[in-house]
Structure 1
Amino acid sequence: MRSPTPTVPWATEEGTGEPEGRRFGRSRSRGRWIGLLGPAFVASIAYVDPGNVASNLSSGAEYGYLLVWVLVLANLMAVLVQYQSAKLGLVTGQSLPDILGTSMRRGPRLAFWAQAEIVAAATDLAEIIGGALALHILFGVPLLWGGVIVGLLSMVLLMTQGPGSQHRFEGFVIGLLVIITIGFMVGLFVSPVDWPEAARGIVPRFQDSQSVLLAASMLGATVMPHAIYLHSALVRDRHGTPTGRSEETTRRLVVATRWDVFLGLLIAGSVNIGMLLMAAAALPGVSGTDTIEGAAAAISEHLGPAIGVIFAVGLLASGLASTSVGCYAGSIIMNGLLRVRVPLLARRLVTMIPALLILAIGWDPTWSLVISQVVLSLGIPFALIPLAVLTSRKRLMGRWANPAWVKVLSVVVTLAIVSLNILLVVLTIAEL
């Protein structure tokens, strides 16, 4: 059923009913400032999902420290994109899907929603399969049942999300992010990393045509469209609408949002770089790291079973957190573009079906992950281009519209990511 255009309530502190943004304007305490962090940590889950694991480990195992610069550059681009999304939600009090939904005619709006839903479904596919692989590695659970378990656990996590409970959902997701960080990073501390060589990896260079292809895939698959849609909504729901908010409060919230994005993406970027460094140090020349199962087996063999188990636990947390966030993003997309609200749990049940069907049929999980990444790549321009345009409009953003140098940088980053994703799609299809 259709619902009227939603009004976004102020995020309030329990028992006070006072808007969080206004509270911040009245208090300069560090504790209150830290309390404004969180949305970017949820969005950053998209950057440490199971789809990134094999590419990071394969890059390190095959080329050593050569492509460290790729992940550094990718993370810098992600910081810019996610900050623009967060700023849009904070300044306008609307999510990116909300704004697009009110500015598009019915036909284009339905088409836009369809591609965004396909992207969200592809995200779910990758995350559920990644979680199922983790359960198979840890306990030998058949992949189909592993997918069912991950889906059901994500339903439990989504039950924490609701009006007035965003802090709780963020807390659970941040807890899973901690587990992901430990699981994917612990191997780094028992690996003989050549730090001077790792520092040289910051200098952009290639070794052969295959390293160019791998770099394109790592850069091109950096920004996830569902994270862009979701981040604007997370900030909107946390800080409310700008109505009644002073300029000074908005300025403080923008500063807090910058720190939120920087810290959230710093953690995600460090995890990805840490995986590459671990593989470069401990798995040089090891084959099979281009699949999740092969990477887990190589880690257990070369770093010990305990490290392998911790890695698999991190993979499970990654799949669980990522699929929950992806389902939440799909709900935001549908509500913004169609003004239709579907209960998160009902949506979770429906979006599990494609992944479970693939697992039941017995398709190769790694092949399925590759296909999901291609679909995600196709959705990138539909999120990035409107974001760059909207955040540059002074009529919409006021004094927070992108200055000239940010406009230029946004265009460059958008063109780079879109071009690399097109290249990635073409090369991937050519290899299928």
Structure 2
Amino acid sequence: MTTSSNGVITPAKEQRRPNESFVARFLRQTEIDSRLLGMIGALLLIWIGFHVYGALANGFGAFLTARNLWNLTVQTASIGVMATGMVMVIVMRHIDLSVGSILGFCAMIMGITQVRILPEYLGLGSPAIWVITVFIGLLAGAAIGALQGYLIAYLQIPAFIVTLGGLLVWRGSAYMVARGETISPVDSTFALIGGGPYGAIGATGSWIVGIIACIGIVIMLISSRRQRQRFAFPQRPIWAEFLLAVVGCALVIGFVLMVNSYPWPVGIVRQYAAANNMTIPDGGLYIAHGFAIPVLILIGVGIAMTFLATRTRFGRYVFAIGGNPEAAELAGINTRWVTLKVFSLMGLLCGLSAAISSARLNSATNSLGTLDELYVIASAVIGGTSLGGGIGTIYGAILGALVMQSLQTGMVLVGFDSAIQQMVVGAVLVVAVWLDTVYRQRTK
């Protein structure tokens, strides 16, 4: 950086640093997070490893198929949504062990609302049922989160104790509300939130979403460059901007091609053709799934939470409190009120995940959400959120959720029993925390 005669700061000419490797220079100029690359590399190794293992053991690799990858994205949605909220909680140096139980309780509340209560007043199949049901589920989750946040922030009870108690209280409450029964089937429109052939937007809709996403990537890069120029911040080289745009759009297009390469099952196609008086040609009728609705919900939540964390005063307060709570309070930040809002937001996201999970199962069960808290915490930590507070990214948590779900799905495909799956999840969580400790020590 250099300063002109009129006092305006301008970026200095890029100079090659001595003894800097090509990789280090590439990462510096493109500003790509090395931990993000590490997670992507680990994810690719998991995918390829399970696919090769299946091919050697069974003669057919089932992991890297359009069907499995499509289902993998749907299964990641529920954990991914909660992981975005867990980032904010852990950034503030707290923890929430109750997210799985809150999910189960909200799912049971929504199940009873749409199966036993609303049809009596609105009529079976009313289009208002799913809207009211989702609203009640979100409200219940936010209220539970606010209650726990109040206990933590204003009564000074440690978050570990409050949420550990919540894990037991809300799981028991879910059992009492339905007397241990399974509530099903859910409203037909509500069920679309969980995905499936009808809970997807098809090939055309997916291409529209993909094109919008590519345009958004380009606009975001251009806007970022103009903002840096406006405030005289160092700029990325033009080739780096172009590379980021090409890679980002290529990933989006690849994602669209993948979801569109998974067709509806033959039986569903026949039912659809019969219901719409369509004739199936000799070669069969190809109807692509496209993006599943829960995946679109996860993408929307990721964008909203990223904006909240990086572009709002509330987000800056959260990271300031996580970085140094005492300094944040001395600076005039109402740390108690921010803490309550973070836990309320966490509860709201649990309610949304409850809608996705119960809609995907077409029922609300007492076991729904069991052990999800482990997967959510592991996803956030694997995604780069530091348990020491003050550091974390939303996209990292979503990628961490994809890593955890890939491990679980891969172990199911190769035939590992549930005991081994739990052992692997526990080991991965410990290793992720250890890597975070090593990373923080090296960056001090």
TM-score, length of structure 2 as denominator length? 0.31
Q: Which has the higher contact order (CA 8 A, sep 6+)?
A: 1
TM-score, length of structure 1 as denominator length? 0.32
Instruction: Specify which structure has the higher proportion of helix.
Output: 1
